[in-house]
Amino acid sequence: MTEQEQITTDLHPLHLTVNGKDVDSVLDSRISLADFLRHELRLTGTHLGCEQGSCGACTVIVDGVAVRSCLMFAVQLNGSTVETVESLCVDGQLSRLQQAFHEEHALQCGFCTSGFLMSLTAHLREHQVTNDQEAREALSGNICRCTGYAGMVKALLAVGDGESTTQ
């Protein structure tokens, strides 16, 4: 068998729960979670920026933990529960964090926004955010190339019941 044939026949069954729905597939082991979500499930709210784990644009929540979906193979997550940005808005109702992003103008081009929302959603489940320092630490794992961090700090503090002391 040629190397190419071996690669194209490296298929694995995959079962996931994605945004509350069961998903079954048979998948090449090389497919990243990000590509599986975007291309197979058409959940295109998960964005790809650097594709090397630096920017955080591809962040989703797997079994309660925020992860870089560009760095994970989909098949390694067999049996896991995945949440994407599409899960945040329920019955047309934005999550508190999404609403705060909207009210505090916490995005510019929006490319990074879904990754920030998922990182911060996971963070807020475990931590309080009550001051600028805590907010900036919570934001520090993701990169916004438009550099619109001030609005995100305010949005995060609005949800965490804190108050910004800087402009």
Nearer to ligand FES by Cβ, of 111 and 130: the residue is: 111
Nearer to ligand FES by Cβ, of 13 and 85: the residue is: 85
Q: Tell me the CA distances in angstroms from 64 to 10, 108, 109, 164, one per residue in order.
A: 29, 28, 28, 28
Residue 165: other Cβ atoms inside 10 A: 9
Task: Name the minimum Å distance from CB 137 to ligand FES.
Answer: 18
Nearer to ligand FES by Cβ, of 41 and 101: the residue is: 101
Burial of 96 (0-12, 13-18, 19+ CB in 10 A): middle
Task: Name the minimum Å distance from CB 154 to ligand FES.
Answer: 15
Nearer to ligand FES by Cβ, of 100 and 107: the residue is: 107
Token readout for 69 is: 């979906």
**What residues line the site for ligand FES (CB under 6 A)?**
48-51, 53-58, 68, 70, 107-112, 144-146, 148
Q: Tell me the CA distances in angstroms from 118 to 6, 26, 56, 98, 115, one per residue in order.
A: 36, 27, 10, 10, 5
Nearer to ligand FES by Cβ, of 54 and 78: the residue is: 54
Q: Please give the Cα distance from 118 to 78 (Å, whole number).
A: 21
Task: Name the minimum Å distance from CB 29 to ligand FES.
Answer: 19
Task: Name the minimum Å distance from CB 69 to ligand FES.
Answer: 7
Task: Name the minimum Å distance from CB 125 to ligand FES.
Answer: 21
